[in-house]
Amino acid sequence: MASSSGETTSKIGPTQYSYEELANATGHFSNRYFLGEGGYGQVFWGSLDGKTRAIKKLRCLPDDEKTKQKMMLEIKIANRVRHPNVAHLVGYCIEANNALLVLEYFPKKSLKYNLHEEFLDWQKRMQIAKGVAKGLEYLHESCDPRIIHLDIKPDNILMDNNFKPKITDFGLALYFPDNVTHLSKSNNEGTKVYMDPEQQKNFLISQIFILLVWCFLS
């Protein structure tokens, strides 16, 4: 199932990279290329196919076929996501017990990184809040299948050069339930997560409210 960086696999969709390719692009995951670390793993930048990319090195996953197939399904679903306020999955690597995702690179980093900067005025904060709301509405209502993102926080909202927000890390909480308060979930039938019906009804509103608090009170 191996393929080079210039090939795409019809079975999955995004570009399939080898572990060696991603290791070489990041100086073998050296501190020089290090961008940050979260509950899911470490993020590095690297040059792939002539473009700067963010490479997320996930925590080691169990080396069994069932887990691999579930991860492959999530990758296939994530590749179908297309929205101006949702980060695009560029590629992936699953070899042995290594799992890596290749994403768009955003030099302005995360909302968390920028929240306390003076240049993030009220107009930009409202733009960010509206953009994330649009991205969540797409994931929850218009995406096929629907994807429920239950780990929205400033770390998971990236900024492009114009401070347009990009939601990321949807689907990853499925594999790292000990590191987050809630789980995000997607599947090929669009089944909703198991939660209280009232919470399900008001979920998008509550996430937007929390985001507004972050943007305007931080």
Q: Give the model's pLDDT for residue 198.
A: 44
pLDDT at 13 over 80: no
Q: Which residues contact 150 (CB under 8 A, 6 or more apart)?
A: 173, 180, 181, 182, 183, 184, 185, 193
Q: Of 139, 156, 129, whose CA–CA distance to 193 is shortest?
A: 139
What crossing angle do the helices spanning 122-137 and 197-217 adopt, rounded to 10°?
160
Alpha-carbon gap, residue 189 to 113, rounded angstroms: 36
Q: Give the model's pLDDT for residue 58.
A: 84
User: Which of the two residues, 82 and 144, has the higher pLDDT score?
Assistant: 82
Alpha-carbon gap, residue 59 to 55, rounded angstroms: 13
Active site (catalytic) residues: 151
Give pLDDT tens digits for 22-64.
Answer: 999 999 999 999 998 866 788 999 999 999 999 999 876 656 7
> Average pLDDT of 189-201?
40
Stated pTM of the model? 0.70
Which amino acid makes up residue 3? Answer: S
> Which residue bears the tokens 């960010």?
128
pLDDT at 205 over 70: no
